[in-house]
Amino acid sequence: MRAYNLLKLVDRYGQDLTLIKSTTGGYDTATGSATTTTKNFIFTGYMYDVQEGVLTSDIRRGSRKCVIPPTNLGTVPDDGDQISGSGGVVGIKSVATMYSGATVVCYICEVSE
């Protein structure tokens, strides 16, 4: 699917979602664990089923994709990040970046519970 068409789906059917990035810090010898910081980035994205490419109203188990426009995101999604919204949290398994020339048009993330 062309990036332009994906962005139109985000415009028409997108929903507010949150990208959750967790960063592991240094090891704390007093507690015996590493510190973890979490940062949230709110964006409008489009979730769809991988097999059918149809809009659904909730996040369910199984492989899905999420289209994330880079505009005002403030970060780049990575493998292992999470997306929260529609009553559930899914993990990003892989990220494909779509370009128009040298400009990033959108990120397509494969996600699953």
Over 80: is that where the pLDDT of 105 sits? Answer: yes
Give the confidence band of 62 by pLDDT, cuts at 50, 70, 90.
Answer: low
H or E segment to which residue 9 belongs: helix 3-13
Give yes or no for residue 48 having a pLDDT over 60.
yes
Strands, E assignment, the chain: 15-28, 33-49, 64-68, 82-85, 88-100, 103-112
pTM of the predicted model, to two decimals? 0.79
Whether residue 52 is predicted with pLDDT greater than 60 in this model: the reply is no
Which string of DSSP letters, residue by residue, matches 92-104?
Answer: EEEEEEEEETTEE
Share of the chain above pLDDT 90, in %: 47
**Domain count of the chain?**
1
Q: What domain range includes position 88?
A: 3-112
Query: Is the pLDDT reported for residue 59 higher than 80?
Result: no
Weakest-pLDDT range from 1-5, 31-35, 81-85, 93-97: 1-5
Tokens of 82: 């999470």
Quote the CA–CA distance of 19 and 76 in Å, as a whole number.
10
13: CATH: 2.40.10
Neighbours of 95 (CB within 10 A): 18
Report how far residue 28's alpha carbon sits from residue 41's, in angstroms, rounded to the nearest whole number.
27
pLDDT at residue 108 above 60?
Answer: yes
Model pLDDT for residues 1-35, shown as the tens digit of each residue: 577 788 888 999 999 999 999 888 777 788 878 87
Query: Between β-strands 88-100 and 64-68, what pairing exists: parallel, antiparallel or unpaired?
Result: unpaired
